[in-house]
Amino acid sequence: MNAPLPELGVGIGWRPEIAGVLERLPGLRFTEVVAESLTDRALPAPLAQLRERGVTVVPHGIRLSLGGAEDLDQHRVAHLAHCAEVVDAPLVSEHIAFVRAGGTEAGHLLPVPRTRDALDVLAGNVLAAQAELPVPLALEPIAALFDWPEDEMDEAAFLTELLERTGAWLLLDVANLYANAINRGDDLGALLTRLPLERIAYAHVAGGAEHDGLYHDTHTDPVPPEVLALLSELCAVRRPSAILLERDGDYPPEAQLRTELDALARAAGLPAITSDVATR
Amino acid sequence: MSRVELAARQAALVAALVTGGKLPDGVDGARLAIARQALLRKQAGEVATTWPLLAASLGPAWIPSFAQWAAGRPPQGYLRDGWDLARELAAAGQLAPLGRDELAAREVIWRYNGRSAPQRRRLPALRRVPGGMIVGLAGRARRF
């Protein structure tokens, strides 16, 4: 199976608050938009302009609850499919998580128990979603602040089997990987050797901070050096064809965001997107 | 663990996180408490984007105030969460002028019963605020 994304270099998630920053990135060839932030009406104008410039847009779902024991919400699947069509996306992505249960929205991505039965439910939901999607689906393991006592598999084994059973691609979030290793006390060095890196469609990188002795994947803080180092390590083994910075609030001044994108490109060994590709 | 059991476990976890339900068997209570606080901080940040004046009027107290208010309540979306909090603060006489004006501007544009999604008003509405009034007309709030 060919990778769903060509070489697109470094990108940054499109958010209305930083639309202007993206507009002023001459080397930008790829972005992501939160699927739930799009409506059935026309695309936000700045996003439509990026599309006209030839920037690849990947819809990123956050509320499908693929790991939930309740039936998949067909309207949400249809919306994700619709998003893929309106931005002419080569793939869409979602999380390995659940976000609601018993009629209550958690407002957050929650970890699925890594048991055989939960894997069956998750794989069933993924297959059901894929049947309705016009493009391939990439799945992102989340950063979890806690684990379930009933866990039977580690994350690498769970993930490998999920991707094998569903044919889904991997959206590897380097910051989530870092967060989970720190918070579970796992060996960072050994992490990359057990993950199915050949299944990576693209990667995420985000900032975070320590609170209460744990690493929190906040998306509102700068990317720490440790996460950039892990990105470098990943790229040395197998560089993802596209690497995206996620920022979701407390937006820093434009210059700072551009510096962060340059640092990301450096860590990955990719050209900077803040200057024109021709003059890099 | 069947699908039904998984559903029950997930429901118990969400209840423990957002509606003050008891800790599901075997789950690390200290970790869950940290996750609950992280969730409230994140929610405060998101509500602040929809209610910037309300959040700004509380200054550095915004996150702790919001977190305290929201603990044990299921999130109803940024618009309603901020609205409910603003109304409670107003009723207690603790809403600073910026937050009060933002609340009035919302009240004249939308009809909100506190239980279901706000509906856009079809008719003009007004709210008196110290030194004038805020009028909602054709989907926009103006101060007079």
Question: Is the pTM value of this prediction over 0.90?
Answer: yes
The bridge status of strand A242-246 relative to strand A200-206 is parallel
Disruptive mutation site among B3, B9, B14 for chain A (greatest number of A CBs within 10 Å): B14
- The verdict on a CB contact (< 8 Å) between B45 and A220 is yes
d(CA A211, nearest CA chain B) in Å: 9
**What pLDDT, in 10s, does the model give residues A28-52?**
999 999 999 999 888 999 999 999 9
- The verdict on a CB contact (< 8 Å) between B74 and A216 is no
Residue B82, strand partner residues: none
- The verdict on a CB contact (< 8 Å) between B45 and A113 is no
pLDDT at residue A86 tops 60 = yes
Residue A14, strand partner residues: A33
- The verdict on a CB contact (< 8 Å) between A113 and B9 is yes
d(CA B58, CA A61): 32
Closest residue of A to B7, CA-based?
A69
What's the angle, vertex CA A68, arms to CA A62 and CA A72, rounded to 5?
75
Using alpha carbons, list the distances in angstroms from residue A171 to A126, A217, A269, A275, B16. 14, 16, 19, 27, 29
Residues in B touching A214 (Cβ below 8 Å): 31, 34
Main-chain dihedrals φ then ψ at residue B70, nearest 5 degrees:
-80, -15
Residue A30, strand partner residues: A56
**What pLDDT, in 10s, does the model give residues B67-115?**
999 988 888 889 999 999 999 999 999 999 999 999 999 999 999 999 9
What does the pLDDT average to over A101-127? 95
Nearest to B43 among A107, A121, A145 (CB): A107
Q: Given pLDDT bands bounded at 50, 70 and 90, which one contains residue A67?
A: very high
Main-chain dihedrals φ then ψ at residue A100, nearest 5 degrees:
-150, 155
Angle, to 10 degrees, between the axis of helix B3-18 and the axis of helix A116-132?
Answer: 90
Please give the ipTM for the structure prediction.
0.92
- The verdict on a CB contact (< 8 Å) between B45 and A250 is yes
Looking at residue A108, its amino acid is: H
- The verdict on a CB contact (< 8 Å) between A212 and B4 is no
d(CA B24, nearest CA chain A) in Å: 10
Residue A243, strand partner residues: A10, A203
d(CA B49, CA A43): 21
- Taking one residue from A and the other from B, the number of pairs with CB-CB distance under 8 angstroms is 93
Residue A268, strand partner residues: none
pLDDT value of position A279: 43
d(CA B136, nearest CA chain A) in Å: 25
Q: Given pLDDT bands bounded at 50, 70 and 90, which one contains residue A109?
A: very high
